[in-house]
Amino acid sequence: DKIAVRMYTTAETFSGRELCGILNEALRKDQVEHAVVMARVLNSFCVTGRQPGSRHIRWPADQKVYRGGGLPPRHRHFFIPGRQYRVPMFLSTSGKKGVTVEFMERQTEEPILWTIELDPRGCKHVNFIDRHDGSLNMRPNTPAEDEFLFAPYSAFTVQSVAWQPVPSTAQPHEIVLAGRLRQPRRLRRPAPRPLGVD
């Protein structure tokens, strides 16, 4: 899984796109024939990190992770408090709120800050990325972005929504989600596309 994690976190591009974006597009479009091996290894990394004998995960002290991105206005109606949904791709987040600004700045859509409140008992479908390949302008094999990676089809519940009249990276739209300890079996509603750069 170490190689797959390094490949997923690389800042190197292929035809102008990062590998994480290519992989997530294949998952969203359900075109996984070329991505299945890497997706399987990354999924195992996300969901098996809490086995006896596995390394300790440094969960954020406030039990929150963040994601910056863009949201087309046509998708606002989907995000209402109480709605539960699944995200049909790997979902990269950070324990550092400041990391999100760069991702909001990359977007052509209205900037949005996602805050995911983790279950204090932990989550069974997310893992801490403790290494990268050195392409993030930092030492390799370090947790460059304090990144937590959720497995595809992780479920979330919308807790609150704050729409800004004129969103900016300094004052983005904000959506607070609740992460779940375990994933429900029957929840099937996928989210619309706009969850950020990936």
- Comparing 82 with 15, the larger pLDDT belongs to 82
pTM reported for the whole predicted model: 0.77
Phi and psi at 194, nearest 5°, equal -75, 70
Residues facing residue 86 across a β-bridge: 155, 190
Phi and psi at 115, nearest 5°, equal -115, 125
Alpha-carbon gap, residue 69 to 67, rounded angstroms? 7
Q: Lowest-confidence range among 16-20, 95-99, 114-118, 163-167? A: 16-20
pLDDT tens for each residue of 111-170: 999 999 998 776 777 777 765 545 445 555 444 568 888 888 888 999 999 999 999 999
- What structural domains and CATH numbers belong to the chain? 2-52+60-179 (3.90.176.10)
User: In whole numbers, what is the pLDDT of the chain averaged over residues?
Assistant: 79
